[in-house]
Chains A and B, each alone.
Chain A
Amino acid sequence: MSRTRVARLAFDLQLTSFRRAPLTVVFVVLLPLNLLLLTSLFALTGYHIPTGLVMEEDTPLARAFADALADAHNSYKLEEMSFDEGVEQLKDARIGAVIVIPEGFDATIKSGRTAPVQLLLDNVNLDIAEDARRAIPAAASIFAAREGFQDVRLVPRLRNVLPRDTGYVEYLGVAAIALSAVLAGAILGATVIARDHELDASPLTRLTTTGPGPLLAGRLAAATLVGLIAVAATPAVVVWGYGVPIKHPFEAALGIVATLAAATALGGLVGAWLKKTMVAVPLILGVAIAFYLDSGAVEPQRFDGEFLFWLAHLSPTYWGVGIMEHAFHGLTVTPEPVALLIAVLFAFAIAGFALLPRAVRSL
């Protein structure tokens, strides 16, 4: 029997096996979706700190300062409330800060003096607390510029490389597609190979006249195909749910296939190494989520320092995130060009598939 025929047969048999275990496939489909939706939650607290705004007077200058706070680089989500309500919500950790614009604010400024503003802060999360503090001078600067205060001697001149900012949810959502591809591919690859060992079927793999290569290639190709179906839901959610258009659809499709292929091959190696589904799957999940945070999914990875930047290169998620951000938003978030990112993922896949027969022989 030719190698191609063996591979095709193995492909068909593996698909039949997936059809017989629909629940397994359903949960492989659910996991990427699950993570896509839930990691997007992370974005919602990335900015716009819920803040109680206490307006003790409603005058033009008080309103102008409130507007400056609202425009201080997406820092606060302001909600007007009474002082007592603000303090209560702050103590109950329902909001992160309270800003009080006092009575007499307008008159004090009009008389050329400096008006006091009160900031009550829940400094339990340093990241959020520092954002809230730094937004105050930003708001003061915006306020002074809008009101034309003559004594201000210097201003920040802020220019951007790109014509528009990319929202955090949109950025994270696109990155989560890469995570989905990695998880679906790696889990399916690992399950296919480890299940052989669990069912004592691995010796049969070694008995084929063509060697285990074509057999494994066929089965992992089927796993990649099912992975593709599993991952297809995530770009659909990003495009139609989050309203993110795809700039380069072909690149996105190629990137998903490359990430899946690399993850399936690497997952197969993990399955061959661990020999048990119940060990391989949590291990893959744990490592993938940790590497998701170290992949450029939150911001270009190099901004977190050279060590984390180079460490990220070990995971297909880094390469996948780079492709997805470019394919969807046209953003460059890795120093490597997109062609290289895709090539590296296919190299991961080829190396994984090449090593797999040897790994399976040792089972």
Chain B
Amino acid sequence: MNAIWTVAKSDVKRWMREPMLILATLIPAAGMAIMVLALTYAVGRQPVALVGHPEGLEAERMVSILRTSDGFFLSESTHEQAMKDLKDLKVAAVIEVPDGFDEAVARHEGYVDTLINNVDLDFADDVRRSISEAVVEIDAPPLATLGEEGPEAGSKPIVANPYQVHVAETDLRYPDISFLSYELVPVFPLLALTAGALITALALSGDRETGVLTLFALAPRARIATVGGHLLGGFLASSLLIGTALGVAALTGAVDPPAGRWPAVIALLVATSLSAVGIGVVIGLATRSRPTTILVGVNVVAASFLLGGGFTTIAFMPDAIQAAARFVPTFYSVTGIREALFYAEMPTLGRNLIVLTGAAVVSIAVGAIALTSVGRRR
């Protein structure tokens, strides 16, 4: 036990003595968090220019709806300026409420003209949906204000409208989960992955380069101490980072689980750290030099993060990708933490914890066997 603790302490000390290494461990997760924060401001909203403001009650209403739409960042300008802004990519679309709008609406021939820069489907469709929503709001406000009615929206009485369709919305929760809260979740598994896997892998490959690993491999007890010590060291370092990040997120309200869910969140992160250091043990033993270790490490971390649901909802993916994601421990971590934070029930908690812990156990076993073979080769 003493030997394990000595190796672990040495790893943590080595890591803490190198501020640049701490920075390198933190940067991928910090970069992601900052970008999520930045994207929160812009998600679902597109910059558009509004031109034309004819007189009349309906025109006034239309302009007012467009001004308050949460689908746009609206600027009002002249036609010439708007077209220049469209060309300079300052706006994604130019919306025009044409002259004689009220008269046209009275004749049932009204329209709102929208010229969209359709360079990519995603935001062009955002604009199309938001314009349709604004136009429909004139004659069917309840149809165009879904999600703004509160938790009782689903039981509101039917309101007749010219589209002859009334939609009653029922949400799984109230209020909506903010984009920031949802997208911040994968940052913690990413932190666990980079810290756990890279610190452990680099410590082991460092031992190999200096010959310490060969010496340790010759004695059965030292083999266990080496694997166990590096595992503990990586786990302690990654726990320190995650604990700090989670503490900050909890204090600022960015992570706010329902009552009684903290133990599940912590257990999932602990299991994620364990599986990450397990992966680090395998990478560290499989590679022969530190540059290779780091390259293998970043490939594994990037793949685990992205395939585990870092940017996406894996359940919405094609079947083949969903099947592939099930081989990645991060998938269980991201799914489990999102479930604990945002859903009424946690049906997959047990499975997620078992898989994450199992991945750690298997990695450690593989690491121990690999270390034995290092000794035999010598």
Contact = CB atoms under 8 A, between A and B. Distances in A.
Interface residues of A, number: 119
B28 A285 contact: yes
Given A153-B108, A281-B295, A302-B89, A114 B158 contact: yes
Nearest to A68: B165
B47 to A, nearest CB: 6
A261 to B, nearest CB: 21
Interface stretch (B223-231, B269-277, B309-317, B355-363): B309-317
Given A130-B147, A137-B129, A138-B132, 17 more contacts: A44-B312, A92-B315, A93-B313, A119-B169, A136-B143, A151-B139, A161-B116, A282-B27, A282-B298, A286-B194, A293-B35, A300-B117, A302-B47, A304-B41, A305-B73, A332-B119, A333-B89
B241 interface: no
B119 A166 contact: yes
Interface in B345-375: 345, 347
B147 A281 contact: no
Contact of A157 (B86, B111, B121, B182): B111
A124 interface: yes
A74 interface: yes
Contacts of B130: 134
25 contacts: A23-B287, A41-B312, A42-B311, A44-B317, A75-B129, A91-B345, A93-B313, A116-B166, A122-B172, A124-B182, A126-B179, A137-B143, A153-B106, A154-B138, A156-B112, A157-B113, A166-B119, A274-B20, A279-B21, A282-B28, A286-B30, A287-B31, A290-B35, A293-B39, A331-B120
Contacts of A137: 129, 132-133, 135-137, 140, 143-144
Given A136-B143, A153-B105, A294-B38, A115 B122 contact: no
Interface string B19-43: 0110111011111101100110111
Interface in A23-46: 23-24, 27-28, 30-31, 34-35, 38-39, 41-46
Contacts of B90: 302
B10 interface: no
Given A47-B125, A75-B125, A294-B35, A38 B317 contact: no
B255 interface: no
Interface of B: 18, 20-21, 23-25, 27-32, 34-35, 38-39, 41-44, 46-47, 70-71, 73, 86, 88-90, 92, 104-106, 108-126, 128-140, 143-144, 146-147, 154, 158-173, 176-179, 182, 194, 198, 202, 287-299, 301-303, 306-307, 311-313, 315-318, 321, 338-339, 342-345, 347
A150 interface: yes
Nearest to B129: A134
A161 B86 contact: yes
Contact of B124 (A150, A157, A160): A160
Given A38-B302, A121-B172, A45 B129 contact: no
A160 B122 contact: no
Interface in A71-124: 72-75, 90-96, 108-109, 112-124
A108 B173 CA distance: 31
Contacts of A34: 299, 302-303
A45 B312 contact: yes
Contacts of A168: 120-122
A92 B86 CA distance: 42
B298 A283 contact: no
A121 B146 CA distance: 11
Nearest to A333: B119
Given A27-B292, A130-B147, A283-B27, A162 B119 contact: yes
Contacts of A204: none
Contact of A134 (B71, B166, B182): B71
A30 B31 CA distance: 22
A191 interface: yes
Nearest to A128: B313
B23 A283 contact: yes
Interface in A129-152: 129-131, 133-138, 140-141, 143-144, 149-152
Contacts, number: 403
A124 B177 CA distance: 5
Contacts of A280: 24
A2 interface: no
The 5 closest A-B pairs by CB, nearest first: A290-B31, A154-B110, A286-B28, A38-B306, A286-B27
Interface string A298-340: 1110111100100000000000000001000101111100000
Given A131-B44, A150-B108, A294-B35, A24 B295 contact: yes
Contact of A126 (B168, B178, B343): B178
Contacts of B306: 35, 38-39, 41
A106 B87 CA distance: 46
Q: Which of A121, A305, A334 has the most CB of B within 10 A?
A: A121
Contacts of A154: 104-105, 108-112, 135, 138-139
Contacts of B128: 73, 138, 156, 158
A308 B202 contact: no
A45 B316 contact: yes
A42 B120 CA distance: 14
